[in-house]
Structure 1
Amino acid sequence: MEPKLAQVRKLPLLPLRGLLVYPSMVLHLDVGRDKSVKALEQAMLEDQMLLLCSQSEVSVEDPAQEDIYPVGTVAMVRQMLRLPNSTIRVLVEGMTRAEIIEYVPNDDFYEVKVHLIEEQSGTEHETEAFRRSVLSKFESYVSLSKKVTAETLASVTDITEPGRFADMVASHLPLKLKDKQYLLEISNVRDRLEALLELLENESEVLELERKIHSQVKKRIEKTQKEYYLREQMKAIQKELGDKEGRVGEVEELREQLKSLEAPEKVLEKLSKEIDRLEKIPPSSAEGAVVRNYIDWVMQIPWGTRTEDDLDLHKAESILEADHYGLDKPKERVLEYLAVQQLVKQLKGPILCMVGPPGVGKTSLARSIAKSLGRKFVRISLGGVRDEAEIRGHRRTYVGAMPGRIIQALKTAGSMNPVVLLDEIDKMGSDMRGDPSAAMLEVLDPEQNNTFSDHFIELPVDLSQVMFVTTANAVHNIPRPLLDRMEYIPLSGYTELEKLEIAKRHLFEKQMRDHGLQEEHLQLDDDVIRRLIREYTREAGVRQLEQRLAALCRKAAKMIVSKSEEKVRITASDVEEFLGVPRYRYGQSEQEHQVGMVTGLAWTEVGGDTLTIEVTVVPGTGKLLLTGKLGDVMKESAQAAFSYIRSKADVWELEPSFHEKLDIHIHVPEGAIPKDGPSAGIAMATALVSALTKRYVSKDVAMTGEITLRGRVLPIGGLKEKSLAAHRAGIQKVLFPYDNVRDLDDIPESIRQELVFVPVRHMDEVLAHALLDQ
């Protein structure tokens, strides 16, 4: 006979980990924790009753009060067996629900006062309806699940008492512990059956979904096995027929290559589809060649390949210094880039635009940048490119379609982070086939080029790690939106000292090597190179100088071969014998002071140059003649200068109507060469004043600047290039606009020491320095 339980009583507490016991359940428990063993022993000493409560956290070894659920099951210990490993195995039977009122202080084990919970039931018909619904759903669950046996279902079906029925069903469901506890805490039988029905619905849906997934996976595996079997059969048939180069073998080879390809998931997916498509195209179809060409191109892009940047600043600096003399600012910019790379570890590739005349080392500097970084180097020549497809590629629908030059450069480099030189970016044109400079906007925009889209590839290609270096001869030929995306670095040209060092360190050795000469075959003095620079070349760069050195090497090679001379030594006096009469005159631009003749300074695409401006005044009817193939800007400068002088006629003691009685002819020699720009305004005005007043112009002075109708001197560009030109021509004093004083820092120290730079604000200051006293 079962003992009758009081409504409130004191019981030992046995916390359960990952387990929950319902009333009417009979099961074995293994008890091993000290407190739990002592609680069990206390129960056996009394009436074999104890409270079983679940822990909220299974991992807690010594649970506190807050770790134990407040509602549990009062159970009776039916059997106890001590095991060899100090564990006690007990057989317990759940009796009734109980709620913990308070914990009784006890250091040996948990002891609690509990309130026994009586079951409540709703209306009989409603409760029975829920019981039948639960039974029906449980039968459906058992049919789907293989974890509940038919015997269990039969034993549950025989239970008619609703509360006990609900507990038995819940005990056989694989519910989470918190869900089981939720059911345990519901004292109303009708509400418990409703909650159980909802949980059964969820479990049934999960089982149905598991079954569906399993079925799909099984079908997929069967399909894969079937495809593999059929492909193996096709291979065997192909082999028997002797067709080893067939489409099947080709597709299998591509699939093997695809497995080892390191590329983004989107690329692999696209390639897989194209390979499947290629497999279905008949060998005789022309479309097969198009698809195969596309697959080959996409696979040849080095998607996952990158070179490791060599970020050793000292090593990079030594490489740049060894390869180039001068060019301090460009080299400093590269070293700054390396320093930032070291700090941030990840930097979008900068776009450097090196602008300067031919022969100043733009291309070779880009090559040295790649060498110092340890990156691959690719050069793309953009001179004369007029088709947008050269940059973005052709659509695959066209015959002979192929990717643009950017993708081709990546393939050539075999790396996704090379140094790409875009040579002569200012020489691109545009026609009916599109504007390639507009297509370059996406390539050179750091915010867009991480998803560059080529018309042929049709997949996003990341260009953000590519370091683009562009070169140009003139900034004004580069479209403004394109220039805004680049960092402009000017390479103005070299001084005589820099040219001498470059020739000795690089050019002469290179030409000796190219002409098969050893060090002992040919010897040049510094005076020879200096004379070549002064009298046989006139350029900002060193290309002509290299050509003259090559000519000397050829002469020496001929002498060594024909006359069997072992060594040729060339001195400064021998240069004319080897290269002919000097092409340029070095020294003063004019040997004596002149009236109406001024040396101006101009900037051209090949560097700075001197410009002789001549003015002649003859009796006439007031005509102003301009000759020398002048552009619109220079013609307007001449008109402005003439109007300024007319407004100041009384200052220079000229007749107010002098312009009506005289013809003025302004001429700029070398008339076949186009000349334009705002640099000759003050030079023309000075020449006009000199010619009209018969005052001499100093032969030592050269000038540059634009003039306004009121005589103000406006700023110009290219002061460094013009200063180098003045130095080459033997000028001693340079007059320049006051607003260009900030540009003096760009001029080499050696030039600043040999030339006198005079900033001027007004035409009166220009005349004061340029005209000699009578």
Structure 2
Amino acid sequence: MELPLLPLRGVLVFPSMVVPLEIGRKKSLHALEQAMLGDRALVFVAQKDTRQDDPGEDDLYRVGIVAEVKQVLKMPTGGSKVVVEGRSRCRVLAIHEDTEGMNAEVEEVPEASEMSDELEALMHAVRDLYEVYVKNSRKMPGEASVAINIDDPGRLADTVIATLDVRTQEKQEVLEDFDVTDRLTRVSDILSRQIELLEIEKRISGRVRRQMERTQKEYYLREQMKAIQRELGEADDGEGEIAELRSRLEALSDLAEPVRDKVEREIKRLEKMSPMSAEAVVVRTYLEWVLELPWTVESETRLDIAEAESILEADHFGLKRVKERILEYLAVQSLSSEIRSPILCLVGPPGVGKTSLARSIARATGRRFVRMSLGGVRDEAEIRGHRRTYIGALPGRIIQGIRQAGTKNPLFLLDEVDKMAADFRGDPAAALLEVLDPEQNHHFSDHYLELPFDLSSVMFITTANVLHSIPRPLLDRMETIAVSGYTDEEKRAIAEKYLWPRQVKQHGLAPEQIQLGRRVLTEVIAQYTREAGVRQLERELSAICRKAAREVVEGKKLRIRVTNLRRYLGRPRVFHGAAEEQAAVGVVTGLAVTETGGDIMAIEAATMPGKGKLTLTGQLGEVMQESAQAGYSYIRAHKDHLAVPDHFEDTVDLHVHVPEGAIPKDGPSAGIAMASAMISALTGRAVRPDVAMTGEITLRGRVLPVGGIKDKILAAHRAGIDEVIIPERNQQDLEDLPANVRKKMAIHLVRHLDDVLPLVLVKQEQVMH
């Protein structure tokens, strides 16, 4: 059977259903005319893609509906409205298309079904599900469930699917189910899924409705509160807060235009927000930070050199070089206001007063003091801050310190700058480059503020124990000043002037109740402390005060002397190195620098029959082992000149040992000491016990300069050694020695190992062959 074909877009016709349609496409109108000329029968087939205006054969499904046109009404616009009634399903066998329209050869599929228990159960299930769907759907009228009181199972399935709000493809699948049981089953599944979607939609809409009701209630109550406050004259609402922010902004008359514009924009944003919203809290906190920063506030810097010098002298003993550098800066600043604040790096062992010195500099210059500890800092955001997109974001600790100071020119101490580390959160040392660069820090940008802040007026001072762990680009931006350890005389003076009076006061004692003589202080320093600074010394003095306080309370008489010092501090815990008592073969006194200051160390060499093997023990580092190898090679190359035994490199084994083997040792400064010990052991000539030495040796026997000369010579002086051998190129380091030490010590400057040997080897006792 061949009938005119009319494609449908987004709508389907089912058997026994009367459906109104609007027809406007030219080919569709032609098919309608052909049907009206015949027996009013048409084939309706759905399009696969509704966007197609002129569908072809491949754009149409192969199962459709044969329908009869019941009524036609032509529209003024040229289209037609028709009412059609579905007659039966059909298979489309072929489609013939020409320029005017389409015809289709179809085969009608009769609706045949026998009622069974399964079909009846399915019909009951579909009716029940449909009633639930109509009840929950806001688009379906309540009487829609009455329309499905149908006894025919196939017609029931068609009627239900036609009224559901589902995709055309799902309706087409139902249309293509010729078996009634399968059709009802598919409709039942679609209904179940639609009911689940409706329940989810209902839950969501209920949540939204409750939220809206709560918001409306809060808004209503808030407006009532505002009205009551206005009546009472208590304008403590958002409007008052906005007015306060604007007045604070106007008070900052010298604020830069970019900053002022940014703040005004944020105030306008805050004005449009609900005061209780989370975003309003973020904006309010940001505005508080920006408006509280001292954009233009500067404290008056003290430029009186004499007063600043008296403050520095009163607060700290010694430290001449550091004090001179600060006074030089103040002198230049008094002549020129354009000088940039220096960036000093105080380097020295723990406890020598680096942090307290920075406080004294702030007091001497009249600046506010801010301290920031960098020990263990691993997050770049600690310096630059977090962006405002993060919950709980805050500015970095630089901006926080400026706010804490209340001025834009404080003294900012960056403590323990050598203890920073980097990980996946960034490198804080790299972030400090901009902070400590005078060419960049006049527009430092914090991630939280997103505004440039001028740090060029800040006086930055950093402290470190060592320099090698500070990144080179960061170290290049700082002027390093070495704060070396104190001599015993300096420690005694510091204790008498600062530490002891402070401890007596802190422990509630009166100066007349307890007194400490110089001999007792000397004994405490020598027998109970081993350090470059004075922290341990202050702890020991605190221990004396604690025991003294108990004796005062018990009514006992106080007498602290060297003879009864053990009663207060216990047995001595520190034993400094002492000089050898008599000359010995193969034993040389070397000098070393540790974290606690200088110290002496014995270097021992021994020979034994063997095959020329050199053994090094004492937990020596690679550099120290290389120094011993260099000295050994020099001895082998100049054995005739040094009068060592012939062929010793084939017949004698050498063992060099540095005692206290549990302590790691490294560095090149023991080179001449190890070479002298090996020559003494090989020649049998004893070494003077009252001479100590330090210096690096080369393969040619030259003596190169080393570091820590002051600490090493002080260690020799403390050990009772009268003569010290140092490299000639270290002569300028002698200026740092206290005058009394320079007078007591005989210091020999050497260029070559040949200059060393006559000073230390005393006589020929034994020659090995």
When the two structures are superposed, what TM-score results if normalisation uses the length of structure 1? 0.67
Q: Distance in 2 between matches of 1:398 and 1:665?
A: 64
**Is the 2:229–2:236 Cα contact (8 Å) retained in structure 1?**
no
Q: CA deviation at 1:236?
A: 6.1
- Partner of 1:602 in structure 2? 592
Match of 1:252 among 243, 261, 286: 243
Q: Distance in 2 between matches of 1:238 and 1:710?
A: 97
Relative distance call for 1:234 and 1:454 in structure 2 (3 A) is farther
Which deviations, in whole Å up to 9, do the C-alpha atoms of 1:620-674 show, x marking residues without a partner?
Answer: 3433222222221111111111111121222333344323333322222222322
Match of 2:298 among 286, 306, 313: 306
The secondary structure found in structure 2 opposite 1:584 is coil
597-606 or 755-764, which moves further after superposition? 597-606
**Is the 1:392–1:455 Cα contact (8 Å) retained in structure 2?**
yes
**Is the 1:599–1:702 Cα contact (8 Å) retained in structure 2?**
yes
Match of 1:648 among 628, 633, 638: 638
List aligned pairs for 1:551-566, cutoff 5 A: 551-561=543-553, 563-565=554-556
- Whichever residue aligns with residue 659 of structure 1, its letter is E
Q: Distance in 1 between matches of 2:527 and 2:616?
A: 31
Q: Distance in 2 between matches of 1:309 and 1:319?
A: 14
The secondary structure found in structure 1 opposite 2:559 is strand
- Whichever residue aligns with residue 250 of structure 1, its letter is E
- Partner of 1:56 in structure 2? none
Match of 1:494 among 469, 474, 486: 486
Please tell me whether residue 706 in structure 1 is matched to residue 696 in structure 2: yes
- Partner of 1:276 in structure 2? 268
Q: Distance in 1 between matches of 2:572 and 2:595?
A: 24
449-458 or 580-589, which moves further after superposition? 580-589
Please tell me whether residue 418 in structure 1 is matched to residue 410 in structure 2: yes
- Partner of 2:218 in structure 1? none
Q: CA deviation at 1:298?
A: 1.5
Which deviations, in whole Å up to 9, do the C-alpha atoms of 1:572-596 show, x marking residues without a partner?
Answer: 2222332222233468432222322
Q: Distance in 1 between matches of 2:380 and 2:231?
A: 48
Match of 2:497 among 496, 505, 508: 505
List aligned pairs for 1:667-678, cutoff 5 A: 667-678=657-668
List aligned pairs for 1:713-724, cutoff 5 A: 713-724=703-714
Please tell me whether residue 590 in structure 1 is matched to residue 583 in structure 2: no
- Whichever residue aligns with residue 657 of structure 1, its letter is H
Relative distance call for 1:589 and 1:390 in structure 2 (3 A) is farther
Q: Distance in 1 between matches of 2:743 and 2:235?
A: 78
Q: CA deviation at 1:265?
A: 2.5
288-297 or 363-372, which moves further after superposition? 288-297
**Is the 1:588–1:699 Cα contact (8 Å) retained in structure 2?**
no
Which deviations, in whole Å up to 9, do the C-alpha atoms of 1:8-34 show, x marking residues without a partner?
Answer: xxxxxxxxxxxxxxxxxxxxxxxxxxx
Q: Distance in 2 between matches of 1:356 and 1:712?
A: 30
Runs of 5+ unmatched residues, structure 2 = 1-222, 765-769
List aligned pairs for 1:253-402, cutoff 5 A: 253-262=244-253, 263-402=255-394
- Partner of 2:656 in structure 1? 666
Please tell me whether residue 735 in structure 1 is matched to residue 725 in structure 2: yes
- Partner of 2:762 in structure 1? 772
**Is the 1:681–1:707 Cα contact (8 Å) retained in structure 2?**
yes
**Is the 1:646–1:656 Cα contact (8 Å) retained in structure 2?**
no
Relative distance call for 1:587 and 1:528 in structure 2 (3 A) is farther
- Whichever residue aligns with residue 649 of structure 1, its letter is K
Q: Distance in 1 between matches of 2:535 and 2:675?
A: 36
Q: Distance in 2 between matches of 1:706 and 1:661?
A: 28
- Partner of 1:760 in structure 2? 750
The secondary structure found in structure 1 opposite 2:274 is coil
**Is the 1:315–1:372 Cα contact (8 Å) retained in structure 2?**
yes
Q: CA deviation at 1:289?
A: 2.4
- Partner of 2:195 in structure 1? none
Q: CA deviation at 1:241?
A: 9.6
Q: Distance in 1 between matches of 2:660 and 2:424?
A: 37
Q: Distance in 1 between matches of 2:380 and 2:415?
A: 16
- Partner of 1:121 in structure 2? none
Q: CA deviation at 1:713?
A: 0.5
The secondary structure found in structure 1 opposite 2:640 is coil
Q: Distance in 2 between matches of 1:346 and 1:281?
A: 45
Q: Distance in 2 between matches of 1:712 and 1:234?
A: 93
Relative distance call for 1:278 and 1:606 in structure 2 (3 A) is farther
Q: CA deviation at 1:503?
A: 0.7
Q: CA deviation at 1:244?
A: 6.1
The secondary structure found in structure 2 opposite 1:684 is helix
Q: Distance in 2 between matches of 1:240 and 1:333?
A: 62
The secondary structure found in structure 1 opposite 2:656 is strand
**Is the 2:434–2:440 Cα contact (8 Å) retained in structure 1?**
yes
Q: Distance in 1 between matches of 2:493 and 2:626?
A: 42
Which deviations, in whole Å up to 9, do the C-alpha atoms of 1:447-498 show, x marking residues without a partner?
Answer: 1111111111111111111111111112222222222221211111222222
Match of 1:725 among 707, 711, 715: 715
Q: Distance in 2 between matches of 1:417 and 1:641?
A: 55
The secondary structure found in structure 2 opposite 1:430 is coil
Relative distance call for 1:749 and 1:282 in structure 2 (3 A) is same
Match of 1:620 among 588, 595, 610: 610
- Partner of 2:445 in structure 1? 453
The secondary structure found in structure 1 opposite 2:566 is helix
- Whichever residue aligns with residue 385 of structure 1, its letter is V
List aligned pairs for 1:110-125, cutoff 5 A: none
Q: Distance in 2 between matches of 1:668 and 1:431?
A: 39
Runs of 5+ unmatched residues, structure 1 = 1-232
- Whichever residue aligns with residue 390 of structure 2, its letter is Y
611-620 or 512-521, which moves further after superposition? 611-620
Q: CA deviation at 1:376?
A: 0.7
Q: Distance in 2 between matches of 1:241 and 1:677?
A: 82
Q: CA deviation at 1:553?
A: 0.9
Relative distance call for 1:343 and 1:732 in structure 2 (3 A) is same
- Whichever residue aligns with residue 326 of structure 2, its letter is V
Percent identity reads 58
Which deviations, in whole Å up to 9, do the C-alpha atoms of 1:688-715 show, x marking residues without a partner?
Answer: 1122222222221111111001111111
326-335 or 281-290, which moves further after superposition? 281-290
- Whichever residue aligns with residue 709 of structure 2, its letter is L
- Partner of 2:150 in structure 1? none
**Is the 2:586–2:678 Cα contact (8 Å) retained in structure 1?**
yes
List aligned pairs for 1:543-558, cutoff 5 A: 543-558=535-550
Q: CA deviation at 1:413?
A: 1.0
The secondary structure found in structure 1 opposite 2:372 is strand
**Is the 2:590–2:670 Cα contact (8 Å) retained in structure 1?**
yes
- Whichever residue aligns with residue 421 of structure 1, its letter is L
Match of 2:458 among 463, 466, 482: 466
How many residue pairs get aligned? The number is: 540
- Whichever residue aligns with residue 679 of structure 2, its letter is V
The secondary structure found in structure 2 opposite 1:583 is coil
The secondary structure found in structure 2 opposite 1:671 is coil
Please tell me whether residue 409 in structure 1 is matched to residue 396 in structure 2: no
Q: CA deviation at 1:509?
A: 0.6
Match of 1:538 among 515, 530, 536: 530
When the two structures are superposed, what TM-score results if normalisation uses the length of structure 2? 0.67
RMSD between superposed Cα atoms in Å: 2.2
Q: CA deviation at 1:313?
A: 1.3
Q: Distance in 2 between matches of 1:458 and 1:234?
A: 38
